[in-house]
Amino acid sequence: MPWTPRGRFFEEFDVGETFTTAARTITEGDVSLFAGLSGDYNPLHVDEETARRTPLKGRIAHGTLTLAIATGQANQLGIFEGTTLALLGMDRIRFSGAVRHGDTIHTELTVKERKESAKPDRGTVVFSVAVLNQREERVLEAEWTLLLARGEQAA
């Protein structure tokens, strides 16, 4: 049986449409594993005693961990499954708030722009991305640009 993409095609995204992911709680284990993976052992992330003496008054998750989790949350929506040809860019990334161990975050993606391609089998979609904590405070903002396949009817 041939595999069939389950995600949305380029032409199925409407400007202004918003997608909201499931929430996920950031654990001490997440931060510890990410420190090991990235090599970023900044005490602000891994040493509670040192982090308490900073203006943030405690440990926070790596900003890039938050970004990585946001990409995973977006992928779990299923809207990109089998239709994404490439992630072309992550732009205007702003870490607008601290994510603490125990915070629960979710991601909202809003279609900002659709751009036709010279190639008839694809197009570019720009998403405004916001990651929010359990208090609905924005902790990360960005723009993601994806190259998406068109449906077979457009080929």
pLDDT value of residue 155: 46
Residue pLDDT, tens place only, 44-60: 999 999 999 999 999 99
Nearest CA to 84 among 93, 71, 94?
Answer: 71
> What are residue 125's DSSP bridge partners?
114, 146
> Torsion-angle region of residue 41: left (phi > 0), alpha (psi -120 to 50) or beta?
alpha
Q: Does residue 101 sit within a domain?
A: yes
Nearest CA to 98 among 58, 148, 152, 142?
Answer: 58
The CATH number of the domain holding residue 64 is 3.10.129.10
Q: Does residue 121 sit within a domain?
A: yes
Q: Does residue 48 sit within a domain?
A: yes
Domain count, the chain: 1
Q: Would the pLDDT of 145 be above 90?
A: yes
Q: Does residue 2 sit within a domain?
A: no
> Would you place residue 2 in the very low, low, confident or very high pLDDT band (cuts 50, 70, 90)?
low
Q: Does residue 66 sit within a domain?
A: yes
What pTM was estimated for this model as a whole?
A: 0.92
Query: 100, 60 in Cβ contact below 8 A?
Result: yes
Which structural domain, as residue segments, surrounds residue 67? 10-154
Residue with more model confidence, 18 or 1: 18
pLDDT value of residue 1: 59
